[in-house]
Structures are given as C-alpha cells and as structure tokens.
Amino acid sequence: MKTKITLLFTAVFFLVNIYAEAQKIEPKKKVEEKTTKRVDKKIDKGIDKGLDKLEEGLGGLFGKKKKKNKTKNEQENQAAHTNEQVAKINDQAEEEATPALNWAKYDFVPGDKVIFEDNLENEENGEFPSRWDLVKGTTEVAEFGGENIIMFRGGNPMIVPYLKNPGKDYLPEVFTIEFDFYTNNHNTFQVYFFDKKNQQVNSSYKYLSVSYDGLSLSPASSKIPNRGTIENQWAHIAIAYTNGKMKAYINETRLINIPHLAFDPIGISLYAYHGSDNNVFYIKNFRLAEGGVKYYDRFLQDGKIIANGIRFDVNKATLRPESMGVINEIAALMNDHPEIKFSVEGHTDSDGEDASNQTLSEQRAATVVSTLVTMDIDSNRLTSKGWGESKPMDTNDTPEGKANNRRVEFVKK
C-alpha cells in the first residue's frame, strides 16, 4: 500500500515539474494565447448582440441583403406600394378626424309661406329680370345649362326685389332666403339685409358675403370657411332668421350660427361685388318665405303640416337635396311621437295638363313616403295620395301663389 502511494506521489511530482518547466519555457506564448481567446469571446458576444438588434429593427440581416439584391424596378414598385399605403392611412386618419356632413344632417327648414319668388319663368334672354329693380350696374336674364338664370355683369351690379311699398320693412320676424349661386374666379356675392334703393339705414355693414370657399356675416362675424370649395359649380345658399337669430348654409353645411344678430333685417339687396364683363356672377331660384309655427304645434293645431320646402326637379318626382331639411324634421317628429301616422299628399300648381299634374302629384307623394321609409319610419304609418291642381291654397296668377300651391302636406290619419 505504501509502495503504491509513493509511486502516485512520484508521478504527480514528475508531471508538476514538467508543467512548470513548460511554463518557464513559453510563458509569453501562453499569455498571448489566453488573451486572444478572451478577446475573441468578447467580440463574438458583441457581434451576436449587434445581429440581434439588426434582426429586430430591420427584419434580419439576410432580409436586408436580399433587398439589396432586388432590381431597380422592384425597389421602385416597393416604394410606390409603401407610399400608397401611407397615403391611405393619412386619408383614413383625416376622415376620422373630420366630422362628416351630408344632406341627411341638414336642418334648414324653409318658411311655409312664400312672399317673393323668382324662377325666371317666361323671361326673355338678354332682358332685365322683370321681378327685380336695378340699383346700379348691368344685370340680365341669360341661359345656363338649359335654364334661365340672372347674370350680373358690369358696373358692380346690384338689384332689389320689385315690391309694393319697398321703403317699409317687408321682412317678417321669422323668414328664410334661398337661392342657387354659381361662382368662378373666386367671386364674392353679397346679400344685404336692407333695400339699398328704397330704405335708409345708418350703416351699410349689414350683409352676408358668399364666396367659393365660405361665408362671412358683417358686422357679426369674420370669414367662416367651408369644407372644400364650391368653385365652378352650383351651390344652394340658405339663410334662416328667427327673432334675432340667424343661420346660413352652403349646401348641407351650416357655417353661420349667430344667436343675437347686431341689426334688424328690413329688406333685401343682391350685390355682385366687383362684377364686370370679365367677372360675371349667376344666381337662380331665389325665394323669400315667411316662417311659421313648429311642426308639432302645427300638427296639434291644424291636424296637418303644410311643407312647400320639399322640392322636386321640374316636372319630375325626383327629390332635390335641399328638401332634406323638411324631411329630417318630419322623421324626427315621427320618431319622437310613435303614435302619429300621416297621409302624405302631393299638390301642384295649375301649369300643364290636369291629368299630368294628377300623376305627378301622386308620384311625388310616393317619393316622400319611400324616403321616410329608408330613414327607418315604419311603412305602416304612412300612405300617399295625390291631388294634382284640384286643391289650390293660393292664386295661380303669381309666382308666389304657384310656389305656395306646389306643396306636400302631412295629414293626420
């Protein structure tokens, strides 16, 4: 046993001596080798970390190399696709950030009694419009798109309604004004709320300015921009005044909403600011109407609602967009009072043949019913009927009388 232990110690001692001799012989070499290994290990770790980050941020080192190998066309296609996606995202973000406005939200309701209207019926091209009076400049009837229109050209033209006793206040406490306006060259058209020919006022700064990109009311407010523009197209302008409060619209968008107007409207003047032969203005379908009682109060009082603010294309049953103010109010009334049922009844003026007017009135009433049904009004609560020209509520001898006779009535069932 002792012999084995002695041999073991001898062997260990011998190996230690050999190792020590080796260290004595090449100590510098050993240090270099060990140092190199440790440095290599650190470098490897650093490279691994760098590659991990590249893979996370750039989709991988090999993916990036693959992109470099793409052809120029492929790279351009990829860039175009990326730009398209970004544009879609931007458009979507803009749509989500901007409230959508459409005729379904239109809340303008025209007055229920027309007191002045001019649809330029039977007017001669090139003549001054007979239902107006001239303040200054040159204004003529012209044809635009197959329709008669009023053209303002030359001398900063201005016109006023041709009425009896125009020097008096002829605007009621509740009234609406509507007309269609065509603009080009960034024209500014002004509606003065007094008659500049026949009425004397302390200040001339009482008007609404209409332009291709918005409205402004002087002196009550500054320019209110429209969403988008109405340049080189027809736009419906609507103004509502109720006991000191004024609202104004371009198409379906309400831009002016003044709770306490700084002046009392007493008349109307239409002014083509800077109008000339090289800067013409066009309007059509002007209507001034007196307002009335709220729809529900009318229903309770009379058992029916008379609505001449529902408009159709000439000799057609096609509903015009500006009619949606009235129809929206009727739908809201029926939603608030589910017990109400209506017979929707169409009426025409006396122009045209009796049989044609009868058919037209029936078709128009049916159009109103179908529109309400699309707005989730139960069809069982609505019927339609046409009376043609058989039940006039006004004379057919004046444009205003005809306008009052062209109506839709909502009669209690």
> Do 300 and 273 share a structural domain?
no
**355 assigned to some structural domain:** yes
> Do 322 and 276 share a structural domain?
no
Q: Is the pLDDT higher at 177 or at 100?
A: 177
Among residues 290, 322, 352, the one where a domain terminates is 290
> Do 380 and 269 share a structural domain?
no
DSSP string, 176-235: EEEEEEEB-TT-EEEEESS-TTT---S-S--EEEEETTEEEEETT---EE-SS--BTSEE
> Do 305 and 284 share a structural domain?
no
**Distance between CA 219 and CA 216 in Å, rounded?**
9
Among residues 267, 290, 313, the one where a domain terminates is 290
The SS3 of residue 331 is helix
**50 assigned to some structural domain:** no
> Do 259 and 367 share a structural domain?
no
Report the pLDDT averaged over residues 146-154: 94
The SS3 of residue 264 is coil
**359 assigned to some structural domain:** yes
- The model's confidence at residue 82, banded by pLDDT at 50, 70 and 90, is very low
> Do 205 and 131 share a structural domain?
yes
What pLDDT score does 192 carry?
97
> Do 178 and 138 share a structural domain?
yes
Highest mean pLDDT among 24-28, 82-86, 268-272, 301-305: 268-272
Average pLDDT, the chain: 81
- Domain span including residue 398: 295-412
Residue 179 in this model has a pLDDT that exceeds 80: yes
For residue 260, the tally of other CB atoms under 10 A from its CB is: 8
- The model's confidence at residue 48, banded by pLDDT at 50, 70 and 90, is low
Among residues 290, 310, 344, the one where a domain terminates is 290
The verdict on pTM exceeding 0.85 is no
**Distance between CA 374 and CA 383 in Å, rounded?**
14
Residues 300-334: tens digit of each pLDDT: 888 999 998 899 998 999 999 889 999 999 999 99
CATH number for position 258? 2.60.120.560
> Do 372 and 269 share a structural domain?
no
Find the range with the poorest average confidence among 61-70, 74-83, 245-254, 292-301.
Answer: 61-70
Q: Which long-range contacts (CB under 8 A, 24 or more apart) does 133-136 make?
A: 133/159, 133/160, 133/161, 133/162, 133/166, 133/197, 134/158, 134/159, 135/159, 135/160, 135/196, 135/197, 135/269
% of the chain with per-residue pLDDT over 70: 73
> Do 336 and 370 share a structural domain?
yes
**56 assigned to some structural domain:** no
Q: Which of 287, 274, 360, 348 is nearest to 317 (CA)?
A: 360
Does a cis peptide bond (omega within 30 degrees of 0) precede residue 219?
yes
**46 assigned to some structural domain:** no
Residue 148 in this model has a pLDDT that exceeds 90: yes
Using alpha carbons, list the distances in angstroms from residue 321 to 103, 211, 304, 310, 377.
7, 21, 23, 9, 19
Residue 16 in this model has a pLDDT that exceeds 70: no
With contact defined as beta carbons under 8 Å apart, do 234 and 182 qualify? yes
**36 assigned to some structural domain:** no
> Do 338 and 301 share a structural domain?
yes
Residues 191-248: tens digit of each pLDDT: 999 999 999 888 888 999 998 888 999 887 767 877 666 788 899 999 999 999 999 9
**175 assigned to some structural domain:** yes
> Do 150 and 137 share a structural domain?
yes
> Do 354 and 248 share a structural domain?
no
What pLDDT score does 4 carry?
44
Residues 344-401: tens digit of each pLDDT: 999 999 999 999 999 999 999 999 999 999 999 999 999 999 999 999 999 999 999 9
Q: Give the total number of structural domains in the chain.
A: 2
% of the chain with per-residue pLDDT over 90: 56
Residue 8 in this model has a pLDDT that exceeds 80: no
Q: Is the pLDDT higher at 252 or at 9?
A: 252
**100 assigned to some structural domain:** no
DSSP code of 124? Answer: P
Read off the tokens for 219. Answer: 């002196």
CATH number for position 326? 3.30.1330.60
Read off the tokens for 333. Answer: 């009334």
